[in-house]
Structure 1
Amino acid sequence: MCLGIPGRVVRMLDGYGDQLALVDVAGENRKVNIGMLPEETFAPGDWVIIHMGFVVEKTDEAGADAAMAGLKMMGSGEDSEVSP
């Protein structure tokens, strides 16, 4: 398993050979490459895990929540505080 950021598919992008999707990542839309998972199909609402601009895993909402919790635990989340 690698460090990945969860996101939710907004839509597939036409004209890129079915390789790109627009994905909502923490409220911001990003173009990500889905070509590493040619056996998967993607539709709006699907949850994915992204690493370096590539979808590396299709997941569900619970998996996306777990990935975000891991990021927050490592101090990459929005709510992290530094104690003196």
Structure 2
Amino acid sequence: MCVALPGKVIKTNGNLATVDFNGNIIQAQAGLVEVNEGDFCLVHAGCILQKLNQEEAVDMLELFQELEDLQR
């Protein structure tokens, strides 16, 4: 199963966005969804699929942390 991860857009350049995932910085294609600096988004396979509000992003990040903690 593949999971889209929430990240925060820190820079945009045309159809490319620089996205921060808790310190892991990647370049993602932003051609499907218009994003701006400071937006939260879901990224899968290098493509931004959806914009999120901050509450949704924080909730998802907390859920992923809880799942990771269960594996310890």
Q: TM-score range by the shorter chain?
A: 0.7 to 0.9
1:36 Cα deviation from its structure 2 partner:
2.1
Counterparts of residues 47-62 of structure 1 (less than 5 Å)? 47-62=40-55
Identity over aligned pairs, percent: 23
1:73 Cα deviation from its structure 2 partner:
3.3
Q: What TM-score, normalized to structure 2?
A: 0.79
Per the alignment, residue 68 of structure 1 pairs with 61
5+ residue gaps, structure 2? none
More strand by share: 2
Q: What TM-score, normalized to structure 1?
A: 0.69
What RMSD in Å do the two structures reach over aligned CA positions? 1.8
Amino acid at match of 2:52: T
5+ residue gaps, structure 1? none
Per the alignment, residue 5 of structure 1 pairs with 5
Alignment partner of 1:20 is 2:16: yes
User: What is the count of residue pairs matched by the alignment?
Assistant: 70
